[in-house]
Amino acid sequence: MTRHAVRRFMAALAVANPEPRTELHYRDPYTLLVAVVLSAQATDVSVNRATAGLFTCAATPSAMVALGEAAVAQHIRHIGLWRDKARNVIALSERLLAEHQGIVPRDRTALEALPGVGRKTANVVLNVAFGEPTLAVDTHIFRVANRTGMAVGSSVLAVERGLMQVIPSKYLLHAHHWLILHGRYVCKARKPECERCVGRRWCEYPGKE
């Protein structure tokens, strides 16, 4: 897809949803970080159900450590990989207290050093909590980027770099949410709903209807 076409596509997404928001429920950078860690291989709806109770009991690193791994596990037991995630939530909370005064760092390297936090989670936290123009490539963004021809690549990192190069800077802050929501609700994996797609004109997918 040409840069001009990417610009037009992003402009159309911007008009359709000027202020896109994450569908994860959170109160501050810490609760966002926990919610994103819990969201790996789980739906936002299931994470929100779990964090509704969890954050009522513990919404700070010290409260989470005091709550303990077993109780965290009880709150999140209906989402995938809950045992590992409970361990990571406690470990990252301990690390935040020990090394960052209990504050979520606005720094990629420091974020990625936290237990259970990879590049994707760091990108989401930097974007949503701190307003940095980062792009966290999940399964939806990976599919949309490749399918449309916006950024073709066989790895998540290649697609992230490709998108960062072609998306105009004025759209980068919200591009993450526009593309996720577009993939989740319109450009779906099995059957994209091309007839109601705002980017249909510029999409290069051969199978578009």
Q: Given the complex with ligand SF4, which of 115 and 149 has the nearer CB atom?
A: 149
d(CA 128, CA 142): 19
Best CA proximity match to 85, nearest among 124, 57, 46: 46
- Check residue 192 for interaction with ligand SF4 (CB under 6 A): yes
- Check residue 200 for interaction with ligand SF4 (CB under 6 A): yes
Q: Which amino acid is at 192?
A: P
Among 61, 116, 162, 199, binds ligand SF4 (CB under 6 A): 199
What region does 62 belong to: left with phi over 0, alpha with psi -120 to 50, or beta? Answer: alpha
The structure tokens listed for 195 are 């007839």
Q: Given the complex with ligand SF4, which of 83 and 188 has the nearer CB atom?
A: 188
Q: How far is the CB of 198 from ligand SF4 (least distance, A)?
A: 8
Q: How far is the CB of 147 from ligand SF4 (least distance, A)?
A: 5
- Check residue 141 for interaction with ligand SF4 (CB under 6 A): no
d(CA 146, CA 143): 5
Where does this chain touch ligand SF4 (CB under 6 A) — which range of 32-40, 112-120, 163-171, 192-200? 192-200
**120 flagged as catalytic:** yes
Where does this chain touch ligand SF4 (CB under 6 A) — which range of 64-72, 110-118, 170-178, 188-196? 188-196
Q: Which amino acid is at 105?
A: P
Residues 6+ away with beta carbon under 8 Å from 104? 29, 30, 32, 33, 96, 111, 125, 129
Positions touching ligand SF4 (CB under 6 A) are 147-148, 186-187, 192-194, 197, 199-200, 203, 205, 208
